[in-house]
Structure 1
Amino acid sequence: MSCTDDSDDPIPIVEENPLAEYTMLKAVKANNHSIELYSEQEQFTIGYNELFIRIKDEASESYVSDANISWNPVMHMTEMMHSCPKSEVSKTENASVYKGSSIFQMPGNADEYWELNLEYTIAGQTYNATERIEVKAPVDGKKRVSVFMGTDETRYVLAMMPMKPEVAVNDFSAVLFKMENMMTFPAVEDYKIMIDPRMPGMGNHGSPNNEDLTYDPASKMYNGKLSLTMTGYWKINLKLLNDNDEVLKGEDVTEENEASSLFFEIEF
């Protein structure tokens, strides 16, 4: 007699994870679901975060493809709470993957923290889940988001979109929001963001062929061109102008004024 591996039992099909190349930042366990949050980044960070969501039904071990999801990140400070600019959560080409973006203005610490509130509907039933998340400063310490009061007495949030800088004329984008109240941050359209990149460690020299950022309704971003003529540390000096070309924040760079009060930073 000999032993065989023959069996009539069905072979389970293992579903390939469409987000396998991304980092799972958090898995929220609630309502017999596992809500998985993924990113290209290694952590929730200050500034722009594009996030992808999958919801796994833990009973069937399958991923949900017909959910409607909304979210609200809330910062719990010692004396107040506030939210941040965020997009709606939308479906992607992959039926089990949803995506959205959030712009965190500040990191958490031992006493103050971010909490992500999720509401989602599956097959007509609505669920809620809340989870604390750890938002950190960028690993390189460079400034990619600015929260400021404009000359129009409006508080704005301006964030640089992620990019991989090269010695070239780079595509360069940012998103702009205003604070309507502590929980509401509508997008601002049709303003202008003027840029003046400089290398403070190299005599504060600039670069040619830059293009100021103007609003693109298709992408809902401010797009322009950033010229980087060499590797190293760059301060991207900014000026924000409203639709009447009035300066709301930022100054020209001159011999007497080496930097604008509104800026981003890049080092590569």
Structure 2
Amino acid sequence: MKTIKYLSLLFIAVFTLASCSKDDYDDTIVETDPMEAYNLLKEFVYTDHTVELYSEKTLITTGYNSFFVRIKDISTNTFVENVNLSWMPMMHMETMMHSAPKSVLTATETPSIYNGFIVFQMPGNTTEYWDITFNYTFKGAQISKTEQIEVQSPADVLSKVSSFMGSDDTRYILAYVAPTTPEVAINDFTAVLYKMEDMMTFTNVENYKVTVDPRMPGMGNHSSPNNEDLTYNAKNGMYEGKLSLTMTGYWKVNLKLLNAANEVLKGEDVTEDNLESSLYFELEF
């Protein structure tokens, strides 16, 4: 009997220990990388730190590109906060250089991760290329690093950015932002609009309007109902509206740019005699 009682107590002790160990294991917090769902496009490695460039996309293409940037301290294998990060894109052409429209880089909910966007007006080639200069502080020192990047035309070669001279003799850059995955529905439609002050300076244009007229050239150039023109949202600095897509296929989204006085700066109405505007985006899904 004593043996049975002893074995019973031993079984209870082992079971309790196993249960506690399992509970302890289940309660263990596993740290996840907040950038795990994004693509690491570039990692620039220096003596004591690295700069990482992430995107939802797998390539850097002409048009609107949203990026995430973070800096890692190699000695501690940790990502650094409060680095006062800024950037400057630059296109090196054979006879000149110019920059591109860009946002500021701002810290996200994860303070070591910064987010911003750049609108690349043109791709690079064998003799002309883009680079980005990153300026930041690291261990009390002011750092400036310039790295070359590859900017390509999108694989679908559809137009998502337009650089043009308006009737007011001002150069504008209009870039498509969303929807990134169009659907047969009324889609939230977003774009950014900048004007070129000089070769290095692009300013966000406020309180203009972009009219929206999507057409299917392969289907009799029919349009769609319930579109809403793009108007300026001061909270995010973007232009927002609605894009109605009634079926899958190729769409040309005909646009007109109007200033605050409702004067047309670029683009034309689509009519029986004029089948497309000179200002447009292209979609195929």
Q: TM-score, normalised by structure 2?
A: 0.88
Amino acid paired to 2:79: Y
> Who is 1:88 aligned against?
104
Higher normalized helix content (fraction of residues): 2
Using the alignment, how far apart are the partners of 1:19 and 1:165 within structure 2? 24
The superposition leaves residues 231-265 of structure 1 with CA deviations (integer Å, 9 ceiling, x where unpaired) of 00000000000000000000000111000000000
> Who is 1:48 aligned against?
64
For the Cα contact (< 8 Å) 1:68–1:122, is it kept in 2? no
User: Structure 1 stretch 51-60 or stretch 111-120: which is displaced more?
Assistant: 51-60
Uncovered stretches (5+) of structure 1, i.e. residues with no partner: 1-12
The superposition leaves residues 17-47 of structure 1 with CA deviations (integer Å, 9 ceiling, x where unpaired) of 2101100010112352110000000111111
> Who is 2:81 aligned against?
65
Amino acid paired to 1:23: N
The sequence identity of aligned pairs, in percent, is: 59
For the Cα contact (< 8 Å) 2:104–2:116, is it kept in 1? yes
> Who is 2:114 aligned against?
98
For the Cα contact (< 8 Å) 1:66–1:123, is it kept in 2? no
| 1:181 pairs with 2:198 | yes
> Who is 1:227 aligned against?
244
Using the alignment, how far apart are the partners of 1:262 and 1:177 within structure 2? 15
The 4+ residue runs of structure 1 with deviation greater than 3 A are 13-16
Tell me the secondary structure at the aligned position of residue 179 of structure 1. Answer: strand
Alignment root-mean-square deviation, CA: 1.3
Uncovered stretches (5+) of structure 2, i.e. residues with no partner: 1-28
| 1:155 pairs with 2:171 | yes
Using the alignment, how far apart are the partners of 2:101 and 2:30 within structure 1? 37
Q: TM-score, normalised by structure 1?
A: 0.93
Greater Rg, structure 1 or structure 2? 2
Using the alignment, how far apart are the partners of 1:16 and 1:216 within structure 2? 34
The superposition leaves residues 42-71 of structure 1 with CA deviations (integer Å, 9 ceiling, x where unpaired) of 111111111001101112211112211010
Using the alignment, how far apart are the partners of 1:29 and 1:147 within structure 2? 34
Amino acid paired to 1:122: F
Aligned length: 256
Counterpart pick for 1:167 among 162, 170, 184: 184
For the Cα contact (< 8 Å) 1:66–1:122, is it kept in 2? no
Greater relative CO, 1 or 2 (CA 8 Å, sep 6+): 1
Counterpart pick for 1:121 among 116, 137, 146: 137
Amino acid paired to 2:113: V
Using the alignment, how far apart are the partners of 2:31 and 2:229 within structure 1? 45
| 1:130 pairs with 2:146 | yes
For the Cα contact (< 8 Å) 2:88–2:133, is it kept in 1? yes
Tell me the secondary structure at the aligned position of residue 201 of structure 1. Answer: helix
Amino acid paired to 1:197: P
1:29 to 1:15, Cα distance in 2 relative to 1, 3 A: farther
For the Cα contact (< 8 Å) 2:88–2:134, is it kept in 1? yes
> Who is 1:36 aligned against?
52
Amino acid paired to 2:184: V
> Who is 1:251 aligned against?
268
